[in-house]
């Protein structure tokens, strides 16, 4: 077929690019208009807020380039690009972050404009093609949205570590750190979290297990554990606040052994996430799907169970879907932004062909 004299790719040569730029990793996929995923790429953190614009731009460039190479395609055939990330809808073209993202995609040979998308919208469309529904994410941060007509119309939380993110990985990790600090200086009961956290921080002169601090408490002043406590404070305050999220798994590990302090943290996290989702939920609008994502909800059954129970109590009768990330949704959004309809058949094509590439 002769090339289009306008220089635009022929209909057969039009492709679409979806990118899910997360705080831990960046994933990209190139797909055909019918939803067939043709190439997948992966790189490091692509969030310019948590990683810096330069590092994020490099990750985006590597992920997009890898996807194009895997598909055997030139970036010149891409006619729509959607990049989903936390705070994506607020990233402007003239900001440092926006310039890094646009530059990264352009260096991969993609010349069409980039549409920035909310990560929670991409998460939603990773679980369902329905235009109306809800999504809840609990990873490092936590937030929920209501989607109507394919767009976000209501949001709860996602306010960051200082003001919110209740029930998130950061929040759980902070509760772990606070519980251990309180146990070491005698304000709170002993907990198995103490030994787990001190080990994670490589503090070697603390109690070897949760019984050690109880034994020390029998000695006048022994509950203080001044050396380990000083080292705990020093090492925790040296970390960026959001890095407390790395200690969230300790709460679930200790709770599984029957530790009461850890179990309380896990229970409160589940309640907090249920409250966040409840703030945007409209069960009276119909049995619309709820999509759950993020490491806390994907990997841990306890908070997921709490959220499901809250949905039942609220009268929600729609499907509850758990997804690993927002890449399917980023691909769906790229098709939608190009004016293409994404029905159940196209959605299933995206989902199954992407799964085969991962």
pLDDT at 273: 98
Contact between 335 and 16 (Cβ < 8 Å)? yes
For residue 86, give its domain range. 11-128+325-357
Q: What is the CATH number of the domain that holds 101?
A: 3.30.420.40
pLDDT at 206: 52
The C-alpha atoms of residue 290 and residue 127 are separated, in whole angstroms, by: 8
322 DSSP β-pair partners: 292
Contact between 143 and 120 (Cβ < 8 Å)? yes
pLDDT at 18: 98
* Structural domain count, the chain: 1
Is 273 a member of any domain? Answer: no
The C-alpha atoms of residue 50 and residue 251 are separated, in whole angstroms, by: 24
> pLDDT by residue for the chain (358 residues), tens digit each?
334 444 455 455 799 999 999 878 899 999 999 999 999 999 998 877 777 888 889 999 999 999 999 999 999 999 999 999 987 777 776 688 888 899 999 999 999 989 999 999 999 999 999 999 999 999 989 999 999 999 999 999 999 889 999 999 999 999 999 999 999 998 989 999 999 999 999 998 655 444 444 434 433 444 556 788 999 999 999 998 989 999 999 999 999 999 999 999 999 999 999 999 999 999 888 899 999 999 999 999 999 999 999 999 999 999 999 999 999 999 999 999 999 999 999 999 999 999 999 8
pLDDT at 94: 65
The C-alpha atoms of residue 201 and residue 190 are separated, in whole angstroms, by: 18
Contact between 290 and 133 (Cβ < 8 Å)? yes
């Amino acid at each position: 077929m002769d090339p289009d004299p306008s220089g635009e790719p022929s209909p057969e040569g039009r492709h679409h690019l979806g990118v899910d730029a997360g705080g831990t990793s960046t994933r990209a996929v190139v797909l055909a208009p019918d939803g067939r995923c043709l190439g997948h790429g992966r790189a490091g953190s692509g969030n310019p807020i948590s990683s810096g614009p330069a590092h994020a731009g490099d990750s985006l460039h590597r992920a997009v380039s890898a996807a194009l190479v895997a598909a055997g395609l030139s970036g010149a055939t891409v006619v729509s690009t959607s990049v989903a990330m936390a705070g994506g809808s607020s990233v402007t073209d003239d900001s440092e972050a926006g310039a890094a993202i646009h530059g990264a995609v352009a260096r991969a040979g993609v010349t069409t404009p980039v549409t920035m998308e909310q990560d929670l919208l991409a998460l939603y469309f990773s679980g369902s093609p329905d235009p109306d529904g809800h999504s809840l994410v609990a990873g490092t941060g936590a937030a929920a949205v209501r989607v109507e007509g394919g767009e976000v119309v209501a949001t709860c939380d996602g306010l960051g570590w200082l003001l919110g993110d209740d029930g998130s990985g950061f929040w759980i990790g902070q509760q772990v750190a606070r519980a251990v600090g309180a146990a070491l200086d005698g304000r709170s009961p002993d907990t198995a979290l103490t030994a787990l956290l001190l080990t994670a921080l490589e503090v070697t002169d603390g109690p070897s297990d949760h019984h050690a601090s109880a034994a020390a408490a029998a000695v006048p002043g022994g509950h203080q554990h001044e050396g380990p406590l000083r080292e705990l404070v020093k090492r925790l305050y040296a970390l960026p606040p959001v890095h407390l999220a790395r200690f969230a798994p300790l709460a679930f590990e200790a709770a599984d052994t029957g530790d009461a302090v850890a179990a309380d943290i896990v229970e409160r996290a589940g309640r907090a996430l249920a409250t966040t989702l409840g703030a945007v939920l409209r069960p009276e609008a119909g049995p619309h799907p709820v999509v759950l994502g993020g490491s806390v909800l994907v990997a841990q059954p306890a908070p997921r169970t709490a959220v499901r129970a809250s949905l039942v109590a609220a009268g929600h009768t729609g499907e509850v879907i758990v997804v690993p990330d927002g890449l399917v949704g980023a691909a769906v959004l790229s098709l939608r932004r190009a004016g293409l309809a994404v029905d159940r058949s196209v959605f299933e094509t995206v989902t199954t062909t992407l799964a085969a590439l991962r």
